[in-house]
Structure 1
Amino acid sequence: MNMTEHRLLSEQPTIDPSATVINCRLGSWTDIGPNTKIEETEFGDYSYTDGDATIIYSTIGRFCSIASHVRINPGNHPMWRVTQHHLTYRRIRYQFADTDDETIFNWRRSHRVTIGNDVWIGHSATIMPGVTIGTGAVIGAGSVVTKDIEPYTIAVGVPAKPLRLRFPEPVIEALLKSQWWNWDRSELEDHFHELCDVDSFLKLVHEGR
């Protein structure tokens, strides 16, 4: 029996012992996978990462599924300097100064990644600095996202380009209007069946829930 399939999550975030979490706000029922590094990031309820993900300076919504080896907001280098090597700003490490150059780190922080709710990011995808990914979107495995992705759009490739929508536009409008990802635990339990079937869900929201 594979015990990993029966791990029980809870309102308290689950963090693998091998993961590194620095200055983050983790929501309820979240799961941070092995060898993942996540720093200065807001991570919404029910979202999870598989192993070996790296996430920095990001805001991630609820119910997001982040596969293994994903990179979100990888560090840019100062190409305008004579050398773009990080010795010019990680000065302590290389013993050039007693302080690091915080202007570079603040520049990186200013290019925050924003990911909506219920977004699926496939294996080894990279989300570049400053990108916004809309709610319900899918990012294909190995894709490099350099521009914003609209809600409920499937995007693939290097650089990532829209492939198609997950649903017809009227369905997308209904899903976005419902904001089901903001339901509390009791609402999720009461309407769990509808979350598994689009037609049942649309009937529920059209009846006013």
Structure 2
Amino acid sequence: MRTEKEKMLVGDIYHAFDTELVIERDRAKAICFKLNQTCSTDRDTRQSLILQLFAHTEHVETDAWVESPFHCDYGYNITVGKGFYANHGCTILDGAPVTFGDNCLLAPSVVIATAGHPLDSVERAKGDEYAKAITVGNDVWLGANVTVCPGVTIGDNVVVGAGSVVTKDLPANTVCVGAPAKPIRVID
């Protein structure tokens, strides 16, 4: 029988208030709290905290920068490439893997949410949810207040306009806007 964490990581319905998951979310929230209370000029401390959150990310120690406030569920499901930047107020709900390529920029208040809930209200009330992986390619810029929904892949060299809601995959080399976000222009 699989643990709730194992169910979460493969995209099955899991119980979000499982003790192991609560402990792991509390760990990430404690690190986020410290990060959010650390002065932006204290780069060494901030980088150390970012590394604790994104522990398995190869380039995070020298390249990634995350402005405060920043929030995530677990941190260990977030992988960032070189040149990653998250501006103020970003939230990443990483019940499933969230993978960023190189040179990704998140404008203020971007929300990336792998988590979803059953439509049935009884199941929702029990704390059931699911998580679907999100993949963001290289050289992607997500504008202010963009929301990326579970299970989405954003191709390389995509610009998503401010306030857009990404509910489906977006093709490479496009400018996409709207709710739901759709390509409106090809980038040469």
Taking structure 1 as the reference length, the TM-score comes to 0.59
**Does residue 1:44 correspond to 2:66, yes or no?**
no
Q: Per-residue deviation at 1:79? A: 1.5
Q: Residue 30 of structure 1 aligns with which residue?
A: 64
Counterparts of 2:52 and 2:144, CA distance in 1: 21
Q: Per-residue deviation at 1:78? A: 1.8
- Percent same amino acid among aligned pairs? 33
Q: Is the 8 A contact 1:16 1:32 kept in 2?
A: no
Q: Residue 63 of structure 1 aligns with which residue?
A: 103
Task: Tell me the alpha carbon deviations over residues 3-37 of structure 1, each in whole angstroms, 9 at most, x when there is no partner.
Answer: xxxx798xx895497x8964553423110111112
Which secondary structure state, in structure 2, belongs to the residue aligned with residue 84 of structure 1?
Answer: helix
Q: How many residue pairs were aligned?
A: 139
Q: Per-residue deviation at 1:75? A: 2.7
Which secondary structure state, in structure 2, belongs to the residue aligned with residue 162 of structure 1?
Answer: strand
Counterparts of 1:36 and 1:21, CA distance in 2: 14
Moved over 6 A (4+): none
Provide the alpha-carbon RMSD of the alignment. 2.8
Which secondary structure state, in structure 1, belongs to the residue aligned with residue 175 of structure 2?
Answer: strand
Q: Per-residue deviation at 1:81? A: 4.7
Counterparts of 2:140 and 2:42, CA distance in 1: 22
Q: Which has the larger radius of gyration?
A: 1
Taking structure 2 as the reference length, the TM-score comes to 0.65
Greater displacement, 21-30 / 52-61: 21-30
Q: Is the 8 A contact 1:127 1:145 kept in 2?
A: yes
Structure 1 residue runs of 5 or longer lacking an equivalent are 1-6, 90-100, 168-209
Structure having greater relative contact order (Cα 8 Å, sep ≥ 6): 2
The code of the aligned residue for 2:69 comes to N
Counterparts of 1:25 and 1:53, CA distance in 2: 20
Structure 2 residue runs of 5 or longer lacking an equivalent are 1-40
Q: Is the 8 A contact 2:106 2:142 kept in 1?
A: yes
The code of the aligned residue for 1:116 comes to G
- Aligned positions of 1:172-183 closer than 5 A: none
Counterparts of 2:55 and 2:174, CA distance in 1: 28
**Does residue 1:130 correspond to 2:151, yes or no?**
yes
Counterparts of 1:124 and 1:74, CA distance in 2: 16
Q: Residue 134 of structure 2 aligns with which residue?
A: 113
Q: Is the 8 A contact 2:114 2:134 kept in 1?
A: no
Q: Residue 164 of structure 1 aligns with which residue?
A: 185
Task: Tell me the alpha carbon deviations over residues 45-98 of structure 1, each in whole angstroms, 9 at most, x when there is no partner.
Answer: 11110011011230011100111100012531122352523xx12xxxxxxxxx
**Does residue 1:143 correspond to 2:164, yes or no?**
yes
Counterparts of 1:13 and 1:149, CA distance in 2: 36
